[in-house]
A and B are shown apart, each in its own frame.
Chain A
Amino acid sequence: MSAGHPPGEQESAPDETDDVLQLPMAPRATDIALGELEIVYAFIYARVGNRADAEDLTQQVALKAIPRLREGAPASAIRGYLFATARSVLGGFWSTRLGLSEAELHEDLALAAPPAPPSEERADTVQRILAELSGNYRRVLELRFLHGYSLKEVAAEMHSTVGAVKVMQLRALRAAAKVKVE
């Protein structure tokens, strides 16, 4: 899979010369690039759920983007390129970690990009996913993910056993994966 040509990038953009990031970077231009990478980081973190992996992947995106930044592409193209790269890097991450080809990953994972930048992703994503689940599934994920309960605590709260809660958690996560969040 390749990041390829970023959406919206054109061969030339003569009317966007005021909106160009160019390297060698002045401090302000560096700040702009970092601002874009900040959004990329949030995008990646939202998909891997931990800081260490998010940092590694963001750094890979930045490394790939540096030549593009140097070329002085329009800012809008840079953002598109960064996100295309981020999806490519995420696809590689999941395929490597899960031992799957990227074709097998299909578009249900990180490869499906949201239309809006992640900073505009709604904060109530969890609630919207949970709202689509049936009672017990919603409850087990609420307790585990929102309240940080241990399995034992969840079992006590739900008058169940740890083993049963583990199975319920797995099934609830499978169900949650099918929820489409706009």
Chain B
Amino acid sequence: MNKPENRVDQIVSDLLHGRRLKLRGGDAEEKAAITAAARLVAARQGTQRMNPAFRKRLEQALESAPKEPWMTRRAALVAGFGLAAGAVTGGLLGRAMEPAATALRPSGGDPINPVPGKWVDVAAISDLVEGQGKHVTAGSVGAFLFRRGDSVTGVSSICSHLPCELWWNGGQGLLACPCHPATFTPEGRSTDKTYPLPALSTVQVRVTPAGRVEVLGTD
């Protein structure tokens, strides 16, 4: 399967079936053939228009932009958004975010430490069902909480690739990004083994003796 003709045919087959380009480092030898295949597949289909659902998402992004005039460094940190700058895409998105996020360069899975932070009561531990994610907000910090016995963990609710709010797919037991095909485990790890995304930021959670769940967030 390592012969170039086999490898390129696999890529051609993926493209002909509408699948995403899944390339490896060794594919660089055949970059010309691969890009030619991508262009031929696209040309065969003619000029493409955006899917209505995708267009709607872009429209929402454009219309919401004035309400949140680009992200301040602090807001980006709080939202875990800066993870995008260090995405496994080799800084691809980081370039796209310049100059707002260039100073961030965080590593995946880092905890969110809002400054000044504030412990915010978000739920009773009895509200959390084992095996199910619960979305909460603590000021500017959005998070999904997961209960295991008497302990609770949390991860940022913002995708580490695109700045989109994740949702809990209870059927799969995964956090899913609405903006692109990306999912994360409750621990925040990317499920894509071929192109794993950075882990979601963790949020700091504590359970009080009274059984209340608090998240370190902001006012």
The residues of A with any CB-CB pair to B shorter than 8 Å are 1-2, 23-25, 30, 33-34, 37-38, 41-42, 45-56, 58-64, 66-67, 69-70, 85, 88-89, 92-100, 104-105, 108-110, 118-119, 121, 123, 125-126, 129, 141, 144-146, 148, 151, 163, 166-167, 169-170, 173-174, 176-178
Q: Would B47 and A169 count as touching, CB distance under 8 A?
A: no
Q: Would B36 and A53 count as touching, CB distance under 8 A?
A: no
B55 at the interface (CB under 8 A from A): yes
Expressed in whole angstroms, the Cα–Cα distance for A146 and B20 within the complex equals 19
Interface majority SS (helix, strand, loop, mixed), chain A: helix
Q: Would A47 and B42 count as touching, CB distance under 8 A?
A: yes
Expressed in whole angstroms, the Cα–Cα distance for A182 and B58 within the complex equals 31
Q: How many A-B residue pairs have CB under 8 A?
A: 209
Q: Would A34 and B32 count as touching, CB distance under 8 A?
A: no
17 extra interface residue pairs, beta carbon distance < 8 Å, beyond A46-B47, A49-B37, A58-B50: A24-B66, A33-B62, A46-B43, A46-B48, A47-B39, A48-B38, A50-B20, A53-B21, A59-B162, A99-B28, A100-B31, A119-B47, A123-B47, A125-B43, A141-B40, A170-B8, A176-B33
Q: Would A166 and B62 count as touching, CB distance under 8 A?
A: no
Residues from chain A with Cβ under 8 Å of B4 in the complex:
170
B residues 1-40 in Cβ contact with A at 8 Å: 4-6, 8-9, 12, 14-16, 18-21, 23-25, 27-28, 30-40
B residues 67-114 in Cβ contact with A at 8 Å: 69-70, 89-93, 95-98
B49 at the interface (CB under 8 A from A): yes
Min CB–CB distance B202 → chain A (angstroms): 24
Q: Would B49 and A70 count as touching, CB distance under 8 A?
A: no
Min CB–CB distance B51 → chain A (angstroms): 7
B residues 138-159 in Cβ contact with A at 8 Å: none
Q: 14 interchain pairs (CB within 8 A)?
A: A34-B55, A38-B50, A47-B42, A49-B40, A50-B19, A51-B51, A59-B58, A98-B27, A110-B35, A126-B40, A145-B40, A145-B41, A151-B9, A166-B9
Expressed in whole angstroms, the Cα–Cα distance for A28 and B6 within the complex equals 49
Residues from chain A with Cβ under 8 Å of B41 in the complex:
49-50, 145
CB-CB nearest in chain A for B53: A55
Q: Residue A52 contacts which of B20, B27, B92, B163 (CB distance < 8 angstroms)?
A: B20
Residues from chain B with Cβ under 8 Å of A118 in the complex:
47
